[in-house]
Amino acid sequence: MSQKSPIKIAVTGAAGNIGYSLLFPIASGQVFGADQPVELQLIEIPQGLQSLEGVKMELLDSAFSLVNSITCTSDGDEGFGDVDYAFLVGSKPRGPGMERADLIRENGPIFVGQGQAIDRSAKENVKVIVVGNPCNTNCLIAQHQAKRVNPRNFTAMTRLDQNRAKAQLAVKSGAAVKDISRLAIWGNHSPTMYPDFENALINGKALTEVITDSEWLSESFIKTVQQRGKAIIGARGKSSAASAAWAAIDHAADWSRPTAAGEWVSMAVTSDGSYGIPKDIIYSFPCTVDEQGEYHIVPDVALSAAAKEKAMKSAEELLAERDAVKGILS
């Protein structure tokens, strides 16, 4: 039997908490298929390289039959060289007393450099998944630097928010997570995101007919999803890592295969002006993916006045973030 050609996968921040949880499922074939060999190109800042060597040793010790090679580097051109997928995970965490705008300014230059390296060195059809926060705006920054790559190929991750929302709804309704569909996240990966329960289904039935506690849905549910990251830090003393890695895996896997009939996946993608959301910001919409691995924003989703207001509020936040980094957008 002839073997598939290997695909090259770059992961930045590969020695970090999310990186550590992300690399093993990728190496095992759970993301790109049990017959798909991979070449891992792991990128860290120089201070992270020693720890990254340890991660490489563990990957080797797992004896994954699909891993053809593992490169550890601080050089963007080497790390992104010829890659098919790039997971941009590495960025500086928010420090004590730091405002969101400070974080955006601190991390912006990282994504300028990585966008430029992707432009010079990655495959033209590379698929980029930005996880490092503030992920929507970091994605926008990198996208602006990589003019050779189709802007559609830059996406940011709101899948963790979708997964969190589905899990909350499953607990509340007593249904299984798999029975909940069309739960989409709108907007920014931030506390302004809007988890749209109005269009969600449980076993094909309107979710609002199954969960009739409308106050819980419009207040407690939305807040819980919006604040879940903070709650995890409060409980664990560290930010979400394994669940974030699994969400990145879901995002990548769902971008590489057709979406199940009737289902939607949340992806932060370049706005084309749908639903009145300003064009060219990286905004999370309900999407479907076709046979060719192309995503499409789901058209004609009915949004109530309250939902539209929330969706627009998150867009306004993204416009303000774009404004904060306009000096580094080319």
Nearest approach, Cβ of 284 to ligand NAX (angstroms)?
Answer: 10
Residue 300's contacts (CB-CB under 8 Å, 6 or more residues apart) are: none
- With CB under 6 A as the contact rule, the residue among 241, 253, 324, 328 that binds ligand NAX is 241
- Nearest C-alpha neighbor of 202 from the set 219, 177, 220: 177
The side-by-side arrangement of strands in the sheet containing 7-12 is 67-73, 38-43, 7-12, 85-88, 127-130, 154-156, 265-270, 282-289, 295-297
Minimum CB separation of residue 235 from ligand NAX in Å reads: 14
Q: Does residue 240 interact with ligand NAX by CB under 6 A?
A: yes
* Helix/strand/coil for 267: strand
* CB-count burial class (<10 Å; 0-12, 13-18, 19+) for 292: exposed
**Nearest-approach distance from CB 94 to ligand NAX, in angstroms:** 7
CB of residue 158 to ligand NAX, shortest distance in Å: 7
Catalytic residue status for 189:
yes
* Cα dihedral 304, 305, 310, 314 sign: positive
- Select 107 or 210, whichever has its Cβ closest to ligand NAX: 107
Whether the Cβ atoms of residue 253 and residue 26 lie closer than 8 Å to each other: no
Residue 12 is a binding residue for ligand NAX (CB under 6 A):
yes
**Residue 192, SS3?**
coil
55 is a contact residue toward ligand NAX (CB under 6 A): no
CB-nearest residue to ligand NAX: 16
**Residues numbered 146-165 forming contacts with ligand NAX, rule: CB under 6 A:** 157, 160
Q: Which stretch binds ligand NAX (CB under 6 A): 91-99, 115-123, 288-296, 300-308?
A: 91-99
* Residue 150, CA distances (Å) to 84, 267, 270 in order: 13, 16, 11
Binding mask 176-215 for ligand NAX (x = CB under 6 A): -------------x--------------------------
Separation of alpha carbons 271 and 279, rounded Å? 5
Can you give the binding site for ligand NAX, defined by CB under 6 A? 12-13, 15-19, 43-45, 48, 89-93, 110, 131-133, 135, 157, 160, 189, 229, 239-241, 244
| Residues that are catalytic | 189
